[in-house]
Amino acid sequence: MYIVPEHEIAALITRKDSFDAVEKVFASMAAKTACNFPVIREAIGHADALYGFKSGFDRQSLNLGLKSGGYWPGNMAKGLTNHQSTVFLFDADTGKCRAVVGGNLLTALRTAAAAAVSVKHLARADARVLGIVGSGHQAAFQLRAVAELRPFERIVAWNRTPEKLASLKAVAAELGLPFDSVSLADLGAQADVIVTIVSSQAAVLKDAHVKPGTHLACMGTDTKGKQEVETALVARARLFTDEIAQSVSIGECQHAINDGTVPQSAIVELGAVINGTHPGRNSADEVTLFDGTGVGLQDLAVASAVVDLAIAKGVAVKVDF
């Protein structure tokens, strides 16, 4: 088996590799040739940690395995990131462990790639202003990935604490794009594409903020109880997701489903658009919303790509196991 350490990953995988891996596995999920298994997430009663794993199998790529890890709130003080994860890949023919791969950077890359895939398939071709709601760890990855998908001319961003937008502003400068810190009302009035990537228990972006024709990638809600956008906005939008089972239980759509505003049948897997079995956006005025909940198969897809790249470049550590 191979080990690909966390510190090797940045030099191995590109955003394009991540995008291609995620687009392919979303297509396989919608074609029912790939399946995520039920997610486990538990408070372990030690170090205030939340631990769990996400697993699945893709019969097209033969990616089989799991991502295991979670959230250790005391890690910062130890010089580590609070989110920790590791991907384990298994040989689908024998069940033997094929690889162990650092999962921290990959999580950010695969999450940003999911938003970018949604922008490719759902945003208007004439989108020119990109809005980012949030400026935590994931936000810069989102900005870099999504900015590549349309000829954006400007970035507008909002964060609860505006001074924390400095890191996003620096990324925008690197990309050569003007950057404005704005109110949510101004962000919604100007942005043609909006990525929401906050960790909130109540709607931040309101229905009235968002203009017709906008594409939203709601990426922050990945747990029961979290919410980024008002239910009325979910009800107004044409809805897409990575996986319907997660969208209605832990994703942004959970609230609209729970209060009966939206039926489950209104939510379409993005993979169906990629496969051409769903037309996607219907009109230039329609609001489209991608509920990116984060599935285990995304992790396996990017981890498998990294293993192949690491073997090719001679940096995978081979272990007799």
How far apart (Å, rounded) are the C-alpha atoms in residues 120 and 208? 25
Q: Do the Cβ atoms of 318 and 159 come closer than 8 Å?
A: no
Is the CA virtual torsion 290, 177, 190, 158 positive or negative? Answer: positive
How many residues touch ligand NAD under the rule CB under 6 A: the total is 23
Distance CA 268, CA 257 (A): 14
Catalytic one among 16, 67, 78, 224? 67
Task: Compare residues 12 and 195 and give the one whose CB is closer to ligand NAD.
Answer: 195
CA distance 200 to 222: 10
| Binding track, positions 68-107, relative to ligand NAD; x by CB under 6 A | ---------------------------------------x
Give catalytic status of residue 54 as yes or no. no
Report how far residue 172's alpha carbon sits from residue 210's, in angstroms, rounded to the nearest whole number: 22
Distance separating alpha carbons of residues 303 and 262, to the nearest angstrom: 35
Q: Does 219 bind ligand NAD (CB under 6 A)?
A: yes
User: Under a CB-based contact definition with an 8 Å cutoff, are residues 295 and 58 in contact?
Assistant: no
Do 236 and 207 touch, CB atoms closer than 8 A?
yes
Q: Does residue 254 bind ligand NAD (CB under 6 A)?
A: no
**Is residue 65 at the binding interface for ligand NAD, with CB under 6 A as the rule?**
no
Contact 129, 157 (CB under 8 A): no
Instruction: Name the one range near ligand NAD by CB under 6 A: 53-61, 196-204, 232-240, 256-264.
Output: 196-204
Nearer to ligand NAD, 118 or 288 (CB): 118
What is the footprint of ligand NAD within residues 223-242 (CB under 6 A)?
A: 226
For residues 130 and 128, give the distance between their C-alpha atoms in angstroms, rounded to a whole number: 7
| Binders of ligand NAD in range 266-305 (CB under 6 A) | 292-294
- Find the residue with minimal CB distance to ligand NAD: 136
Give me the least distance between CB of 148 and ligand NAD, in Å please: 19
Which residues make up the interface to ligand NAD (CB under 6 A)?
Answer: 107, 111, 134-139, 159-161, 197-200, 204, 219-220, 222, 226, 292-294
Active-site residue list: 67
